[in-house]
Structure 1
Amino acid sequence: MYEKDGERYFIVDGHVHFRKPSDTGFRRQSEETILYDLFDTGFVDHAICQPADAEGEVAASALAERHPERFSVAGLEPVEGRPGLKGVKLITSEQGRQLSDPCSYRFLERCQELGIRNVHLHADPAVRLLDAEDRDGSSSFDAAGLDEVAAAFPDLRFIVEHVGLARLQDFCWIATQEPNVYAGLALALPFIHTRPRAFAEIVGELLYWMDENRITFASDYGLQGPRELVESFVDFEMPEDFHDEYGELTAATKKKILGLNTARLYGLAVPEDLVVADAPAESHEIASGSKVPV
């Protein structure tokens, strides 16, 4: 939990993995380091593990089994009985398919059968750096097919990680018509330090086209830690000349983005005194220490 100026924030980091860049590529961090970075110093109350490979998924499942109050898992495949599995992570370009392909439909149908409703779609340039177009003419990090599958699977939630940043307007047009599409702020959040006006525009566009109940905080840990991002986002204000177009970022909006929205998606327990009064209708009334209904 984070507290400042009398406001308390329940923090859910919606996108963490355990690989950290090193001189030789990547190294996996120890459990001790992960717990320290996220919970001891990072203000996080709960984290959603999104492993990058099968080995990482095994490690994430073991971690969630040891610390179920702290970790949930978005795995690489919808598999019944895996500890902590409450979502899936889908990178279509790495797997040689589009969201609208038959194999993607089978993947999503399996999620639906198992009651795994949270689908984390990775739409960013990290798969093939700076390569906007694949050989077949499609993009590694656009939202192609999202509108089709979101309409076909209304009971699933599609959390688009990195907000489809290189195709932000395309994403926003889809999200405004598909209420089960969400925006994950990983990759966009670091702009709060390097290009604050650009960050204000990103968040402003998301708030304009979507709403504050469908935007989620994510640090992309081990690429960066949550601590500075949480502190900076709580302190962040829209530039004054943006107010007429985008309005202001209130404490209530920040609380939803920093944790309450993802808590709702994952059915996490949130103390009653940390809940925003005007939560979405699907959340209903939250008793102290209860799960947020979904």
Structure 2
Amino acid sequence: MLESGALVVDSVSHCFNHTPDNHKHPHAQRWDDETYELGAKLLPDSHVPSEEVFYRDHSPEELARLIFLESQIDYTVYHSLPLDDYFHDGYVSREKGFEFCEQNPTRTSMYVDINPLEDDAVEQVHHYASKDFVKGIKLYPSRYQNGQDLSLQLTEDAVWPILEAAADSDVDTVAMHKFIPFATAPVRYFRMADVEDAALSFPDLNFEIIHAGFSFLEETVFAMASHENVWANLENTACMVNTRPRKFAESLGEMLYWAGPDRILFASGATALHPQPPIEGIWNFEMPEDLRMNQDYPEVTQEDKEKILGGNALRILGKDPEDVRNQIEGDKWDQKRRELREDDAFPADPWSTYDTDA
């Protein structure tokens, strides 16, 4: 919860599995290492995890303690990942997401991974969409099969039926990774043209651009300006507020200039990244004066920050803030937070809860 009393919502959290036993693709170790190195660049030194903390199979209990005791996050959306051509469990397994949501039903929703190349992919969409806590599906623009990288952009023949199924189901959102390429996949698989085509064809679906503003900024903001169902999810991007503040200011400024503050979502990317520094950074952020004068970027108001850090996420999830507030008041995490506050120890020290019991 923010100083103003507004709720904080993390629109992407994960239980990663960074262990060698999980590696399936020859580049899996490289992927683990590059994820760690990226986090070390994006986080303040005080919040970079040790290798012992990072290179493990993270549990739902560890994720919950990280976000609910070491940060101000009140509610989160767990994203499982469909990367089973690289990692045996997909890198972030569905099963751990189901367990996480079952353990924390009033504080969590989930976007479930879908691999469009599986024969029953359409049936999976309808099956998972029937679960109350599932609010969206998660897609990736590339796969690796038979020694080749394959394009799975939204406009591909294999993916379009997934969008049709989503539009006919109880989920309202499709989240798509649009970021720096991983492994050997070409950059063109990650660009934005497919999002605009999908957003135009499925006006009743929301399309979340994951890592918006980190890559392909101009294409992203123009898509947001043209299509009211395109949203910017700031996973990774949010962390630049502290360590690359100029880049963050330019990314956020372009989004605000072209699309306004109502479709921008804070996300931490925990457990790969620590969630607290970007929350504090965004809450204390002020648009640099020269960017306001020279680029005509708007001032970022407290209302804007409350929307970005939680209000917008609750709206896309269909959650009433007061209902969420009432449901989490007095639960075990609220009680633990009260105990820490009594000792002037909330949020807890970074990664310290990994050594305690749930």
Same-fold call, TM cutoff 0.5: yes
Please tell me whether residue 63 in structure 1 is matched to residue 100 in structure 2.
yes
Give the alignment's TM-score, normalised by structure 2.
0.69
Q: For residue 290 of structure 2, give the secondary structure of its aligned residue in structure 1.
A: helix
Q: Does 1:223 align with 2:272?
A: yes
Residues 216 and 261, structure 1, Cα contact 8 Å, conserved in 2: yes
Please, which of 234, 237, 254 is the counterpart of residue 188 of structure 1? 237
Higher strand share: 1
- Size of the alignment, in residue pairs? 267
What is aligned with 1:2? 2
Which residue of the partner structure matches residue 115 of structure 1?
170
Aligned residues of 2:206 and 2:230 also touching (Cα < 8 A): yes
Task: State how 1:244-263 maps to structure 2 within 5 Å.
Answer: 244=293, 245-263=296-314
Please tell me whether the aligned partners of residues 12 and 47 of structure 1 are also in contact (alpha carbons under 8 angstroms): yes
Once the two structures are TM-superposed, the CA of residue 35 in structure 1 deviates from its matched residue by 1.4
Percent identity of the aligned residues? 29
Q: 2:48: which partner in 1?
A: none
Q: Deviation per CA, 1:8-37, whole angstroms, max 9, x where unpaired?
A: 231110011111657874532123321111
Out of 42, 46, 64, the residue aligned to residue 35 of structure 1 is 64
Verify the 8 A CA contact 1:21 1:223 in the aligned structure 2. no
Residue 278 of structure 1: aligned partner = none
What secondary structure, in the 3-state scheme, does the structure 2 residue paired with 1:116 have? coil
Which amino acid letter does the alignment assign opposite residue 109 of structure 1?
E
Listed as ranges, the gaps of 5+ residues in structure 1 are: 275-287, 290-294
Distance apart, 1:217 and its partner CA: 0.2
Q: Over alpha carbons, which structure has the higher Rg? A: 2
Give distance in 2, aligned partners of 1:103 and 1:16. Answer: 27
Q: Distance in 1 between matches of 2:224 and 2:206?
A: 11
What secondary structure sits across from 1:219 in the alignment?
Answer: coil
Q: Deviations over 1:202-245 (max 9, x none)?
A: 10001011110010000111111211111111011111112231
Higher helix share: 2
* Structure 2 alignment gaps of length 5 or more: 21-28, 33-54, 115-124, 144-149, 328-358
Contact persistence 1:16–1:220 (CA under 8 A): yes
Are the structure 2 counterparts of residues 242 and 164 from structure 1 closer, same or farther at C-alpha, using a change threshold of 3 Å? closer
Judge conservation of contact 1:61–1:83 (CA < 8 Å) in 2. Answer: no
Q: C-alpha displacement at 1:268, in angstroms?
A: 1.9
TM-score (norm 1): 0.84
Contact 1:49–1:71, Cα closer than 8 Å, also in 2: yes
| Kept after mapping to 1: 8 A contact 2:239/2:278 | yes
CA contact (8 A) 1:141 1:164 kept: no
Moved more, 175-184 or 262-271: 262-271
Letter in 2 for 1:50: H
**What SS does structure 2 have at the residue aligned with 1:109?**
helix
Q: Superposition pairs for residues 110-259 of structure 1, below 5 Å?
A: 110-128=165-183, 134=186, 139-163=188-212, 165-244=214-293, 245-259=296-310
Q: 1:49 maps to which residue? A: 78
* 8 Å contact from structure 1 (residues 118, 156) kept in 2: yes
The Cα of 1:126 is off from its aligned counterpart by: 4.8
Indicate if the aligned counterparts of 2:60 and 2:99 stay in contact, CA closer than 8 A. Answer: no
Give the 3-state SS of the residue equivalent to 1:268 in structure 2: coil
Q: Which has the higher contact order (CA 8 A, sep 6+)?
A: 2
Distance 1:239 1:155 in 2: 36
**Cα distance in 1 between the residues matched to 2:142 and 2:180:** 10
Give the whole-Å Cα distance in 2 for the aligned partners of 1:144 and 1:90. 15
- For 1:97 and 1:144, the matched residues in 2 are separated by 13
